[in-house]
Amino acid sequence: MKLSVQNAFVKYKNKKNNTLEDVSLDFSSGEFVAVMGPSGSGKSTLLACMSGILKPHHGKVIWNDKSIYELKDKELSQIHGKEISYVSQSNIFLKEYTINENILLPYNIDIRNKEWLEKAKSILEKFRINQLGNNYPEQLSGGELKRASIARAILMSPKVIIADEPTTGLDKETAGIILDYLDKLAQKEKIVIIATHDENVKKYCNNVYNIEKGKVIRKTYHER
């Protein structure tokens, strides 16, 4: 399995400079990757491009020989969440639905479907929040919501998990639960890509890419 970003450029309309400038990266099975860099350097933009939710203005994103932004909407929606899953920097939940329901809804699964509810429960258990499945988002803390949003992203066992700042603002223990879980996914030959400001996260990663002003300025290899 291979995910590649090829010569990606992004320029937002209201910005003078390019937000991503000629970024090319390759990822393969079993890799745990961190993208680091100052606030505003383009990390979230890069992750959104790789996730299939933001088409770069030039360049391509190739997933297993398919150029994803050249696919039909229907084909791309088959990839979203099922093959490539994305966890945004902010926790996005529908407030009138429970956590269990929020986990199933993006996949058009009936919220009364027992089998899937069980599956959701077992994932929440791994994140030690299984008692919160029937609660509403506003009843959860930031760290609990973050774990729930990662649980939602992995429901379909995607091959690529892209998480934007999955541990920001969390205590060490909660961050550890998340990173250990992502690490297990990488060991199961998934591709795990995160953006982070947290230097402690490096030890989990094979490769750390530093970006500044939309350009990759350094790639560091780490033994995990």
User: Residue from 21, 23, 33, 43 that binds ligand ATP (CB under 6 A)?
Assistant: 43
Tell me: does residue 107 bind ligand ATP (CB under 6 A).
no
Tell me: does residue 146 bind ligand ATP (CB under 6 A).
no
Q: Which stretch binds ligand ATP (CB under 6 A): 34-42, 55-63, 76-84, 143-151?
A: 34-42
Tell me if residue 34 falls in helix, strand or coil.
strand
Q: Would you tell me how many other CB atoms lie within 10 Å of the CB of residue 38?
A: 12
Tell me: does residue 167 bind ligand ATP (CB under 6 A).
no
User: Residue from 4, 18, 45, 174 that binds ligand ATP (CB under 6 A)?
Assistant: 45
Alpha-carbon distances, residue 101 vs 49, 70, 116 (angstroms):
27, 32, 10
Please count the residues of this chain forming the interface with ligand ATP, following the rule CB under 6 A.
Answer: 13
Cα–Cα dist 60/39, whole Å: 24
User: Residue from 21, 31, 36, 44 that binds ligand ATP (CB under 6 A)?
Assistant: 44
Min dist CB 171 to Mg ion, Å, is 21
- Burial class of residue 183 (count of CB atoms within 10 Å of its CB; 0-12, 13-18, 19+): middle
Cα–Cα dist 68/70, whole Å: 5
Q: Would you tell me how many other CB atoms lie within 10 Å of the CB of residue 49?
A: 26
Alpha-carbon distances, residue 156 vs 9, 46, 66, 107 (angstroms):
30, 23, 20, 9
- Residue whose CB is less far from ligand ATP, 40 or 142: 40
Cα–Cα dist 42/25, whole Å: 14
- List phi, psi (to 5°) of 130: -65, -20
Tell me: does residue 51 bind Mg ion (CB under 5 A).
no
Tell me: does residue 39 bind ligand ATP (CB under 6 A).
yes
Q: Which stretch binds ligand ATP (CB under 6 A): 43-51, 55-63, 152-160, 181-189?
A: 43-51
Min dist CB 8 to ligand ATP, Å, is 12
Cα–Cα dist 96/46, whole Å: 31
Task: Pick what 107 binds: Mg ion, ligand ATP, none; C-beta below 5 to 8 Å, kind-dependent.
Answer: none
Min dist CB 205 to ligand ATP, Å, is 17
Task: Pick what 98 binds: Mg ion, ligand ATP, none; C-beta below 5 to 8 Å, kind-dependent.
Answer: none
- Where on the chain is the footprint of Mg ion (CB under 5 A)? 43-44, 89
The site for ligand ATP (CB under 6 A) is made up of 12, 14-15, 19, 37, 39-45, 89
